[in-house]
């Protein structure tokens, strides 16, 4: 299957700062990338869908000014958590699809964010 | 909007035995994909099996098979000859053919494998 990487795998930041998480499709061009949030022992909650070269589409209840998503190329999407607070602490997962992998989503390994 | 329901929060199975995880979904669409994903303690999402709704034949992947009942909107996963490495959280997911690659996940089932 296709490979999707995320960086960093873990990050700790102070309350009020911003943190950027990168999602890369390593061996295919992803026209669409998805960002999920997952709390312990719970399901994945879709935050937003990003298409290369256009603005992300956010799910209801997700603050677009807090969770900035950029999909500048066919292999890279970034999620920036702005002015992070302890309640933003969570596990963030990206997935990539589209292009030559049109019917599949390939998941990154996730990023654990802790806001102190 | 589509919904996916997994009614079993936790299941246990003895090593080498068979277990079935349940999933039901709600949709008005006639064509779609259904998936089972495994999330082990590493939290990496792994695709276990995929079913296209237009295919009547149930998908199988080695020890994993599904029972797809389209009219009943049911999509259960059977794991045969369970192994310790099968212990994980399992998610059932629905993908619309009309709304891009967006996946709708169920709440998940924790599978424990006893030796």
- Contact state of A104 with B47 under an 8 Å Cβ cutoff: yes
Over range A39-60, report the average pLDDT: 91
Q: Is B34 on the interface with A (CB under 8 A)?
A: no
Residue with tokens 């998503």: A69
Chain A residues whose CB is inside 8 A of the B5 CB are: none
Contact B61, B49 (CB under 8 A): yes
- Contact state of B43 with A110 under an 8 Å Cβ cutoff: yes
Q: Is B53 on the interface with A (CB under 8 A)?
A: no
pLDDT digits (tens, 9 = 90+) for A97-116: 866 556 678 999 999 999 99
pLDDT digits (tens, 9 = 90+) for B54-89: 998 999 999 999 999 999 999 999 999 999 999 999
Size of interface A-B (CB pairs under 8 A): 48
Edge-first strand order for the sheet with A19-25 is A4-7, A19-25, A76-81, A67-73
pLDDT digits (tens, 9 = 90+) for B39-49: 999 999 999 99
Contact B105, B34 (CB under 8 A): no
The chain A residue lying nearest B5, using CA atoms, is A43
Q: Is A2 on the interface with B (CB under 8 A)?
A: no
The chain B residue lying nearest A44, using CA atoms, is B105
Chain A residues whose CB is inside 8 A of the B99 CB are: none
Contact A41, A103 (CB under 8 A): no
Contact B40, B6 (CB under 8 A): no
Could you say which DSSP state residue B41 is in? T
Whether the predicted pLDDT of A6 surpasses 90? yes
Over range A45-65, report the average pLDDT: 92
Find residues 22-61 of chain A whose CB sits inside 8 Å of chain B: 32, 34, 38, 41-44, 46, 49
């Amino acid at each position: 299957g296709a490979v999707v990487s995320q960086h960093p795998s873990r990050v700790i930041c102070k309350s009020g700062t911003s943190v950027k998480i990168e999602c890369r499709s390593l061996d295919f061009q992803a026209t669409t990338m998805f960002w999920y949030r997952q709390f312990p022992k719970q399901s994945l909650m879709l935050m937003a869908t990003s298409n290369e070269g256009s603005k992300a589409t956010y799910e209801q209840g997700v603050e677009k000014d807090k969770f900035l998503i950029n999909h500048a190329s066919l292999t890279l999407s970034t999620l920036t958590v702005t002015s992070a607070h302890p309640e933003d602490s969570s596990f963030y997962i990206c997935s990539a699809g589209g292009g030559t992998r049109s019917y599949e989503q390939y998941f990154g390994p996730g990023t654990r964010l802790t806001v102190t | 909007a589509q919904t996916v329901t997994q009614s079993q929060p936790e299941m246990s199975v003895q090593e080498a035995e068979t277990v079935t995880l349940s999933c039901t979904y709600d949709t008005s669409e006639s064509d779609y994909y259904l998936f089972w994903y495994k999330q082990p303690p590493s939290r990496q999402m792994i695709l276990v099996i995929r079913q296209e709704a237009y295919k009547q034949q149930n998908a199988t992947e080695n020890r994993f098979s599904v029972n797809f009942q389209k009219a009943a909107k049911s999509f259960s996963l059977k794991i045969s000859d369970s192994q310790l490495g099968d212990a994980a959280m399992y998610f059932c997911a629905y993908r619309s053919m009309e709304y891009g690659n967006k996946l709708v996940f169920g709440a998940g089932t924790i599978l424990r494998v006893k030796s």
